[in-house]
Structure 1
Amino acid sequence: MEPRMNVHAIGGNLMKAMYQLGIYLSKSSVEQRILHLIYYRVSQINGCAFCLDMHSKDLLTMGETAQRLLLLDAWREVPFYTDRERAAFAWVEAVTTLPNKQVPDQVYQQAREQFSEEELLDLTAATIAINGYNRLNIAFQVPGGSYVPGQFAAKTA
């Protein structure tokens, strides 16, 4: 599949605005590993090849295990995610898919047991950001496979 355009090169002002949210999130009190795990999880839900490639490579570079990445889609059924990670996954899945056009109270309560109000806002902002990137990459058919770990680090630091 040929890309329709290189949004990362052509996007200019739009990408700068999106990178600003990344800069904010890089200073969040939510652990960077959790943020990257939720970026990967949301990208699985949305089927964004570019973001799956990017975040899997970044997570592996950060020391994440292949087993946890390979089984992330089944996080409810395996024992090696923390309660905090599980709460984050449940929250971002609900915010991404909006079952019955809402985030269920049970998911909110689970998230609040693990995250402060500010952290939960940051998780929501991270979900908004990755959904935006997913939609840009999918709409313009940006292929996965060529990302180099840290490629965008200077733009989001």
Structure 2
Amino acid sequence: MNLRMHAHKANPAAYQTMMKLEETIKQMNGDPILFELVKIRASQINGCAFCVDMHTKDLRKLGESEERMSLIVVWRETPLFTEKERAALALTEAVTQISKDGVPQELYDEVRNHFSETEFISLIMAINVINSWNRIAISTGMFPGCYDK
């Protein structure tokens, strides 16, 4: 595998804008574990190995269990995730694959049972940001360890 380019070097202003957005979203989301679960699930759907690797490492640093991390991809099939996490993961899947079914009213209602309007928008923004990062990483050829060399 070859890294096509360093996005942060190719267009520093664009990269800094993404980093500012990332930091803003991070501050809005009070639960760092939930934030990382969302990032991992979107990255799994998008096939972004770089981001799955990065955010799994970040989640591990937050003390998350290996069992839960390995089961994010099949979160519906395990009782290890809270109802709030399940709602966020379902919304992550719907927004990441928005052209498939949109965000059905039933899902919206379930998410709103766990998140206020402000928190809902913060969650949507977090999902949008990781989807953007996935697209940047995949388009530029990023892969786990590509910056280690």
Which segments of 5 or more consecutive residues in structure 1 lack a partner in the other structure? 149-157
Length-normalised TM-score, structure 2: 0.93
Using CA pairs under 8 Å that are at least 6 residues apart, name the structure with larger relative contact order, 1 or 2: 1
The equivalent of 1:88 in structure 2 is 88
Counting matched residue pairs gives 148
Length-normalised TM-score, structure 1: 0.88
Aligned-residue offset at 1:100: 3.8
The answer on whether the counterparts of 2:94 and 2:101 sit within 8 Å (CA) in structure 1 is no
The equivalent of 2:135 in structure 1 is 135
The answer on whether the counterparts of 1:30 and 1:122 sit within 8 Å (CA) in structure 2 is no
Within 5 A, what are the aligned runs for 1:38-49? 38-49=38-49
For the residues of structure 2 that align with 1:3 and 1:85, how far apart are their CA atoms?
Answer: 34
Aligned-residue offset at 1:92: 1.1
RMSD, matched Cα: 1.6
The equivalent of 1:67 in structure 2 is 67
The equivalent of 2:110 in structure 1 is 110
The answer on whether the counterparts of 2:36 and 2:55 sit within 8 Å (CA) in structure 1 is yes
Question: After TM superposition, what 4+ stretches of structure 1 lie above 6 angstroms from structure 2?
Answer: none
The equivalent of 2:123 in structure 1 is 123
Deviates more, 1:3-12 or 1:117-126: 3-12
> How has the CA–CA distance of structure 1 residues 64 and 47 changed in structure 2, closer, same or farther, with 3 Å as cutoff?
same
**One-letter amino acid matched to 2:120:** L
> How has the CA–CA distance of structure 1 residues 147 and 41 changed in structure 2, closer, same or farther, with 3 Å as cutoff?
farther
**One-letter amino acid matched to 1:35:** F
Which segments of 5 or more consecutive residues in structure 2 lack a partner in the other structure? none
Q: Percent identity?
A: 39
**One-letter amino acid matched to 2:128:** I
